[in-house]
Amino acid sequence: MFFLGVGTAVIGAASGNIGLTPFQTGLLVSAQNVGFIVAVLAAGALADTRSKPLLMAAGSLVLAASFFLYYLWPPFGLNLAIMAAIGVGIGTYEGVADAMLLSLHDRRQALHISVNHFFVTFGCLAITLYLVFLQMSWRRSMVQSAAAVLVLALLFVLGRAGGRAAAAPAGRVGTGPATSGSSLRERIVVLGRQRILVLFLVLAVLAVGMESGLTALLAGFLIQLRGYDLVASKIGLVLLLSGVAAGRVVLGIASGRVRMVGLLLALNAGAAACAAVLFFVRLPIVATGVVLFLMGVAVSCMLPLLITMTGMLFREMAGTALGVVKLGIPIGGIVVPFILSIVSRLWSFQAALAIFPLLAVAGFASLAASAGVIRSRLAAAP
């Protein structure tokens, strides 16, 4: 998951070193998301019936080759295809890793999922610090990452034999209408009737949209509307990502089966308050840093909690269900920044920033309407 974060952040972190135009960067992001969407659905579905370590090994091989080849040669079209392959690699990680953790751990699933996603943030933060602050060679970082991911592929292959993660969770299948042994079509039909799964997908879009939008626009906000310099804006981004990382560990420890819904409601409420204060109240620089950190904490565990609840409620088809919910990652990462850019162009940058508290309020209201049903189903889940 660390290298999932590296693969996600490398476009923005290295674009200046490569000399990419904003148009080219946008196309690369789109190509990565296309690869991610295909892989997260396919890998999630396969995780219900195939060896999870072998799926992770295959994703590692694709990611290692893609990291090594990225801008090894200059033609943009070739690198567009390589970036789509990076999306396939990280989509495979995203589609299988959480399902594997849910099959390995009977207790404290929220903690394991949150810590797992902590390493995504850590990967984003590490590659940003490596390339931006230390001014290291981006090609060297890609080769080093490729070598490390290749070692991971070997470890997944060697660790396949005899482990609990090697088998599909057939022994934990409940009495539902479809199980991990059902066909993909049967699983999709069953899941398509689940309103809670649709709600979780919408909440994932809102959560990821807030996180990705904040990451994309924070530096511009601090420079254009608060008068900070380039170094201060980067420190602001580091504070935000540090809050996300800290929140995923601390809140993961604090979350439990009966507390997850209430915690998710509190995080949406906290995100709405922090976003309103951050973007519409002019604060001293220290207070701005504190609010940025708290904003990171607020958005940190939204997606991990949704993933954990999905795995608990749809245990018989966890991989497929998680693949559906994780479609919110590329959708939120594309739709929300696009809306922000349109509103900023039609009205103003300040007006566009109002979207952040509105997203949090929408998430709170959507979850509150079904909170009782979700709590009762979580309590009854095996």
Residue spans of the domains in the chain: they are: 1-161, 181-382
Residue 148 has pLDDT above 80, yes or no: yes
Domain 181-382 has CATH 1.10.10.10: no
Q: What is the pLDDT of residue 180?
A: 47
Between 181 and 175, name the one with better pLDDT: 181
Q: What is the pLDDT of residue 177?
A: 42
Rounded Cα distance, 175 and 153, in Å = 35
Phi, psi of 161, deg, nearest 5: -70, 125
HEC string of 75-140 equals CHHHHHHHHHHHHHHHHHHHHHHHHHHHHHCCCCHHHHHHHHHHHHHHHHHHHHHHHHHCCCCHHH
Q: What is the pLDDT of residue 213?
A: 81
The mean pLDDT value of the chain amounts to 81
Percent with pLDDT over 70 in the chain: 80
Give the CATH number of domain 1-161.
1.20.1250.20
Rounded Cα distance, 371 and 78, in Å = 47
Between 161 and 129, name the one with better pLDDT: 129
Residue 351 has pLDDT above 70, yes or no: yes
Residue 162 has pLDDT above 60, yes or no: no
pTM of the model: 0.78
Q: What is the pLDDT of residue 109?
A: 67
Q: Which band of pLDDT confidence, cut at 50, 70 and 90, is reported for residue 110?
A: low
Q: Which band of pLDDT confidence, cut at 50, 70 and 90, is reported for residue 12?
A: low
Between 11 and 91, name the one with better pLDDT: 91
Residue 182 has pLDDT above 50, yes or no: yes
CA 319 to chain centre: 16
pLDDT tens per residue, range 239-291 = 998 898 888 888 777 666 668 899 999 999 999 999 999 999 999 999 999 99
Q: What is the mean pLDDT of residues 99-108?
A: 73
- Helix 52-69 to helix 138-158 angle (10° resolution) is 160
Q: What is the pLDDT of residue 97?
A: 81
pLDDT tens per residue, range 15-56 = 666 777 756 776 787 788 889 888 988 888 888 778 888 888
